[in-house]
Structure 1
């Protein structure tokens, strides 16, 4: 005996007989808002990029030019986030995506994490080269550019931080609601802000004491921190892509607790993430006296993150 049903947050399970066809839209609750904010950040970044490149060319400033071109790679990385939001929304009801497009954000987040890792490697390499061969720095000009970059990036981070599943929050909330696509954009902006803060510190100390070696040394520290963020995002987004549930994920235990009763046992259980805040489950139940399918669905109704459930009942 098989049953298949789909229900959304805050509603009880829908009877399969009453709703023979249903959509598979498993996008995050804040999908549209996050997409709008990402485009706003891209607009701000692109504007800064054009201003810095133009000013750098006009004033012959290498610091402005370098930061301007760095901003262009930053904007390109953010485009991955924005375009994946658009694609996921456009194809949300495309039946060729068996379980919807909710995981596209994790795929984009994984790609952005790779870009972030490459950025960390480039910063680290450039810092090592400068450590071996010190380059003269125009401290005043470079400090102004770093301060401008910091202000812009902090503003962008504020736009992207709200609703971004904080990595150090409660494990249950983190794994169930995190939008890895938005988290990727947030980390790109945060990485830029971090490099600006470290650059300002290094430039001020370098200007005061003439320590040319401090700038590349702090660059290496920044590269290591960004690499750590990249690795965290890679592992979290990658886990979703290969249907791996974190060890502290308690949804399988909650399902067993809700279903199992006197003479009933869950013999096979598969739980995976369909999108931010959405999980799917395939449950095989062995029962001495099988109950109505609607009763089993009712037992699971309080698990709001269960958005797609298939139940198989095997009488003993």
Structure 2
């Protein structure tokens, strides 16, 4: 029985990015901004009898719901950070929220496509001045939201650095290195939502202006159909990236090759290697090494020191029988 503390060998499973709290605040700001806009449009539409304002107000509600999912995911992941029930921490909650948001975005794309096709077949009268004003107002709100979330699509997130030596009798070794490596899909989902809304507002203004001055009533639903295709493609991309994380797909083939190359020195051979993402900027690797002359697990661990994105390393060492 150990007579001294083993705290230095315990493992931290806080796989949240360094920007987690900041991203949460940004997302909540956008949620509040969207809700204020939604309520304002619904109230104004009811007072002035404007269906355009009412329709856009309820449409903003769908985006507020999707953004709310992202905000609550940040909060849940932070509040349950130390919950041992989650074996590898709560870093994937953002990806779960992103997947749900992508589904909502896909449904919005289908709805827009359906309405556009109906209006191409049966054109309806458009009050151009009011419609353009509503689209312009929505664009202003969306541009403000885009600015708040402006670096979500290309900013990587750093974690908090930890390094622990682990020696045990079972030939396992664990190490913790926290570096930026992957996008935050949750913030990316929020960004895509406001970007799609901004893009559809721009397209709507352009289409309405063309229809108003040229008489081409079909221009508005035609552009709506194009917009639905763009939104659908963005939603599909988000589903692929977040779904891959949720299903523990191979996180990074290049990093996997580097790990294998560093481990296979001399007679050492990697017989099993699993690399997957456990949070924004955090990967876990589980590998088995077989050798005629096996070394201590700590030696294999040191071979992976300094690799960006590796937050949890487990090495199993086996002796190759002669």
1:153-173 Cα deviation digits (max 9, x unpaired): 011011112143379xxxxxx
Answer whether contact 1:49 1:69 (CA < 8 A) is retained: yes
Equivalent residue number for residue 306 of structure 2:
302
Q: State the aligned residue count.
A: 293
Shift of 1:22: 2.5
User: Structure 1 residue 213: deviation in Å?
Assistant: 0.9
**What TM-score does the superposition give when structure 1 sets the normalisation length?**
0.89
Q: Does the Cα contact within 8 Å between 2:94 and 2:186 map onto a contact in 1?
A: yes
Structure 1 residue 255 displacement after superposition = 0.7
Distance 2:300 2:183 in 1: 28
CA distance in 2, matches of 1:17, 1:146: 61
Aligned partners of 1:107, 1:41: CA distance in 2, in Å? 20
1:275 aligned onto 2:279:
yes
Looking at structure 2, the residues matched to 249 and 33 of structure 1 have their Cα atoms a distance apart, in angstroms, of 30
Aligned: 1:257 with 2:261: yes
Are positions 1:146 and 2:135 aligned together?
yes
Report the 3-state secondary structure (helix = DSSP H, G, I; strand = E; otherwise coil) of the residue aligned with 1:101. Answer: coil
Superposed, which structure 2 residues align to 1:52-91 within 5 Å? 52-91=41-80
Structure 1 residue 297, shift from structure 2 partner = 1.3
- Where does the alignment leave 5 or more consecutive residues of structure 2 unmatched? 157-179
Other-structure match for 1:205: 210
TM-score, length-normalised on structure 2? 0.87
Residues 25 and 102 in structure 1, CA contact (< 8 A), matched pair in contact too:
yes
Distance 1:131 1:286 in 2: 66
CA contact (8 A) 1:160 1:186 kept: yes
1:190-232 Cα offsets, whole Å, 9 max, x none, are 1111110110011100110111111011100000000000100
Matches within 5 A, 1:179-194: 179-194=184-199
Matched, 1:227 2:216: no
Whether the aligned pair in 1 keeps the contact of 2:250 and 2:274 (CA below 8 Å) is: no
Name the counterpart of 1:170: none
- Where does residue 129 of structure 1 map in the other structure? 118
Do 2:203 and 2:227's aligned partners in 1 also have CA atoms closer than 8 Å? yes
In the other structure, the counterpart of 2:171 is: none
Structure 1 distance, partners of 2:196, 2:315, is: 45
Q: Which has the higher contact order (CA 8 A, sep 6+)?
A: 1
Q: How much does 1:51 deviate?
A: 1.3
Whole-angstrom distance in 1 between the partners of 2:219 and 2:153 = 34
1:238 aligns with 2:243: yes
